[in-house]
């Protein structure tokens, strides 16, 4: 694969860079560099900015408001946004439920939900995992019993990312308890303001509020909120998971983290007093993760190009999920190592404002580095654990 950009592609990259220079505020850029917590308004506001430029959904078909960009253009856009430390787009809406709606929903459902996703009006969250159904999603127990023109939903979802901000949730629910596990599941779209929904925070080790429990107690959901056919939800869930695992690779964000790591290593002293980047062993570790990231980027481009040809992401997405997760973890480990004792510092401030009592010598790079390090332990678990991904690869690619 030739990954050298053409003159047209370089001109496109320059266009993206100019837009980011003019549209991304210094405050947002700084918060992105420090991986600070963004508010709901900041996240949705950036989505509206992209939407107004016509770039609200780079991978969507033009008929739904997409850009019409090819795989390379989308890759360039994602990479430049990451390198500029722009806020990530809300994946649960743009990159997960939207492809399902576009492929399987009725025209009425498309007209109802897609405009709010692309314009930054609606915030979506994902109702997949349950206490007894994490990587084994086919074991979901949240029930949806049809009663006339609505379903009555009862049960619990957990590890629901940013559900405290969400307007809507897409859920896997069990509509046929007597069918085999995969055959009795349906895919429902639910308004988070519906009576009977309770969101309970799960506070992280660093004191942050990122994930939640979502409880459903006799929640009435209109039948017209069902995607596709009843009891066929496993098909739609697998389609969504293919997109999720492709997105989880986060190549652009990892390249930005690698750039940040090199900056820190060039400034922080090693044991001999010289910049850590000059230490052969540490430099070799950086070189190794950079090579793995390059291989991941090439693999990701191949898969994204196939997706652009209207082929759903296949088991190859599991390779991206495994390697992307591992690379993200290694980058946090190396960054923590580069920061040395500063990496252990932790100041609980959900908005990451400058803490009082911290001297000017305290590097901004290491602000809450301990929290980020521990948080990234999750990458090999969510979206399907690495063990699950390896099983998928063995069964569907290797034939074992």
Distances (CA, A) of 99 to 28, 61, 102, 308: 28, 10, 5, 12
What confidence score (pLDDT) does residue 360 get? 41
Closest CA to 62 of 102, 120, 8: 102
CB contact at 8 A, 369 and 345: yes
| Cα–Cα distance measured from residue 99 to residue 352, given in angstroms and rounded to the nearest whole number | 34
What confidence score (pLDDT) does residue 214 get? 98
What confidence score (pLDDT) does residue 388 get? 82
At residue 4, does pLDDT exceed 80? no
Q: Give the largest Cα separation in the chain, rounded.
A: 75
180-215 exposure pattern, b = at least 16 Cβ within 10 A, e = fewer:
eebebbbbbbbbbeeeebebeeeeeebebebbbbbb
What confidence score (pLDDT) does residue 324 get? 92
Output the six-digit token pair for 18.
């100019």
| Cα–Cα distance measured from residue 230 to residue 168, given in angstroms and rounded to the nearest whole number | 20
What confidence score (pLDDT) does residue 14 get? 97
What confidence score (pLDDT) does residue 3 get? 63
Rg (CA), the chain: 22
| Band (361; pLDDT cuts 50, 70, 90) | very low
Closest CA to 306 of 320, 294, 292, 293: 320
What confidence score (pLDDT) does residue 367 get? 59
Lowest mean pLDDT among 78-92, 115-129, 385-399: 385-399
What confidence score (pLDDT) does residue 355 get? 42
91-108 exposure pattern, b = at least 16 Cβ within 10 A, e = fewer:
bbbbbbbbbbbbebbeee
| Band (220; pLDDT cuts 50, 70, 90) | very high
Alpha helices per DSSP H over 312-351: 316-339
- Chain-centroid distance of CA 185 in Å reads 24
What confidence score (pLDDT) does residue 142 get? 97
pLDDT tens-digit series, residues 107-150:
999 999 999 999 999 999 999 999 988 767 889 999 999 999 99
Identify the H or E element spanning 157.
strand 150-157
pLDDT tens-digit series, residues 185-218:
999 999 999 999 999 999 987 778 999 999 999 9
Distances (CA, A) of 374 to 173, 205, 242, 365, 370: 31, 8, 26, 16, 6
CB contact at 8 A, 389 and 313: no
Closest CA to 383 of 26, 52, 95, 110: 95
Average pLDDT over residues 6-24: 96
Which is more confident, 98 or 30? 98
pLDDT tens-digit series, residues 250-308:
888 899 899 989 988 998 888 888 899 999 999 999 999 999 999 998 887 777 666 55
| Band (163; pLDDT cuts 50, 70, 90) | very high
| Cα–Cα distance measured from residue 56 to residue 367, given in angstroms and rounded to the nearest whole number | 31
What confidence score (pLDDT) does residue 341 get? 80
Rounded (10°) CA dihedral 115, 52, 161, 36: -170
| Cα–Cα distance measured from residue 68 to residue 82, given in angstroms and rounded to the nearest whole number | 21
Angle (nearest 5°) at CA 34 between 32 and 39? 55
Strand pairing category for 150-157 and 168-174: unpaired
pLDDT tens-digit series, residues 303-353:
766 655 445 556 777 888 899 999 999 999 999 898 888 787 665 554 444
Distances (CA, A) of 172 to 125, 129, 169, 248: 12, 9, 10, 20
Output the six-digit token pair for 183.
């055959």
**Domains of the chain: residue spans and CATH:** 7-89 (no CATH), 123-231 (2.40.110.10), 248-398 (1.20.140.10)
What confidence score (pLDDT) does residue 301 get? 78
Instruction: State in Å, rounded, how far the first CA of the chain is from the last one.
Output: 29
Average pLDDT over residues 27-46: 89
Question: How many residues would you count in the chain?
Answer: 400
CB contact at 8 A, 238 and 253: no
């Amino acid at each position: 694969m030739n990954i050298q950009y053409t003159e047209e592609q370089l001109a496109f990259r320059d266009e993206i860079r100019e837009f980011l220079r003019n549209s991304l505020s210094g405050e947002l850029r700084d918060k992105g560099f420090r991986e600070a917590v963004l508010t709901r308004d900041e996240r949705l506001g950036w989505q509206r900015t992209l939407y107004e430029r016509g770039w609200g959904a780079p991978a969507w078909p033009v008929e739904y408001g997409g850009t019409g960009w090819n795989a390379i253009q989308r890759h360039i856009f994602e990479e430049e946004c990451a390198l500029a430390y722009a806020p990530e787009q809300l994946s649960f809406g743009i990159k997960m439920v939207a492809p399902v709606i576009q492929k399987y929903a009725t025209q009425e459902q498309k007209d109802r939900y897609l405009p709010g996703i692309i314009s930054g009006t609606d915030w979506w969250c994902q109702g997949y995992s349950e206490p007894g159904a994490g990587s084994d999603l086919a074991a979901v127990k949240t029930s949806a019993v049809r009663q006339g023109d609505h379903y009555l939903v009862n049960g619990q979802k957990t590890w629901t990312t940013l559900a405290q901000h969400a307007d809507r949730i897409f859920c896997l629910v069990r509509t046929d308890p007597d069918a085999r596990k995969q055959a009795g599941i349906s895919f429902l779209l639910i308004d988070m303001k519906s009576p009977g929904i309770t969101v309970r925070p799960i506070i992280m080790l660093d004191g942050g509020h990122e994930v939640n429990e979502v409880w459903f107690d006799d929640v009435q959901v209109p039948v017209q909120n069902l995607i596709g056919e009843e009891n066929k939800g496993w098909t739609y869930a697998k389609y969504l998971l293919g997109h999720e695992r492709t997105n989880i690779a986060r190549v652009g964000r990892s390249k930005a983290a690698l750039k940040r790591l090199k900056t820190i290593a060039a400034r922080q002293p090693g044991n001999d007093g010289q910049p850590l980047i000059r230490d052969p062993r540490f430099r070799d570790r950086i070189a190794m993760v950079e090579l793995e990231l390059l291989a991941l980027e090439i693999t990701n481009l191949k898969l994204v190009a196939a997706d652009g040809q209207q082929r759903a992401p296949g088991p190859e997405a599991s390779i991206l999920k495994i390697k992307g997760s591992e690379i993200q973890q290694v980058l946090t480990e190396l960054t923590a190592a580069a920061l040395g004792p500063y990496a252990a510092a932790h100041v609980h401030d959900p908005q990451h404002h400058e803490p009082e009592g911290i001297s000017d010598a305290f590097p901004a790079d290491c602000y809450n580095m301990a929290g980020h390090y521990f948080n990234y332990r999750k990458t090999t678990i969510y979206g399907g654990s690495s063990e699950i991904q390896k099983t998928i690869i063995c069964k569907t690619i290797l034939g074992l």
